[in-house]
Amino acid sequence: MPRLCKVLGVHPSGFYAWRLNPESRRAKEDKRLLVPIKESWLESGSVYGYRKVSDDLRELGEQCGINRVHSLMRSAGLRSQTGYAKRKYKRGGAPSLVAPNHLQRQFDVQEPNRVWVTDITYIRTYEGWLYLAVVLDLFSRQAVGWSMSSRIDRELAMSALLMAVWRRQPKNTVMVHSDQGSQFSSYDWRDFLER
């Protein structure tokens, strides 16, 4: 054994100490901390970064610094979800058409079922993110349609609008105002509005 220690450049007493207790207290504590870190990260839908995970650990009563959480998450390959890279026109296909803004910030509407506005928000739950699409009538400011899903897609937006049409059954043309998100600029959404 002394020859092996000499070749590896390790002192024999250090080798024997490692053999009796191969894992340090710090390494054992890191393994223990990694469990609530992974739980917090998974409960967020794999979205949270080390800052928010560190806040969650503090709420659980863990005494752990933010830099340690960052180091443990990095070593375990846990990363926050960041934005998506913008595609270049050359490789990404044709750019989406921008719909004109017919509302022009005229939010005072005199009749019901003339102008509806819609948007999507997200809610954190214990099972991950829940997405909620809502359609409001600008006249009464009431929610006339809504839809919830675990996925944010055009079906979510179209279901909320379908509910609004089914509940209100407007006789005249209704202006539907939304942002320029992918759910509201898809061909299915435009076809649905025209029908």
pLDDT for residue 135? 92
Domain boundaries, the chain: 2-76, 98-194
Architecture in CATH for domain 98-194: 2-Layer Sandwich (3.30)
DSSP 3-state assignment of 124? strand
Asked whether residue 92 carries a pLDDT value surpassing 70, the answer given is no
Q: Give which of 3, 14, 60, 5 is closest to 33, Cα–Cα.
A: 60
The mean predicted confidence, pLDDT, of the chain is 83
For 50, which DSSP code? H
Residues 43/55, Cβ–Cβ less than 8 Å: no
List, in sequence order, the alpha helices (H) in the chain.
2-8, 12-20, 25-43, 50-59, 66-76, 89-92, 154-168, 187-194
pLDDT given for residue 44 in this prediction: 81
Where do runs of H (alpha helix) occur along 44-153? 50-59, 66-76, 89-92
Give me the percent of the chain exceeding a pLDDT of 90.
17
Residue 75 is which amino acid? S
HSE-up (13 A, CA, CB side) for residue 169? 1
Name the pLDDT band for 89 (thresholds 50, 70, 90).
Answer: low
Give the tens place of pLDDT for each residue, 148-171.
988 888 888 889 988 998 998 888
List pLDDT tens digits, range 38-67.
Answer: 988 888 888 888 999 999 998 888 888 999
pTM of the full predicted structure? 0.50
* Mean pLDDT for the stretch of residues 64-83: 87
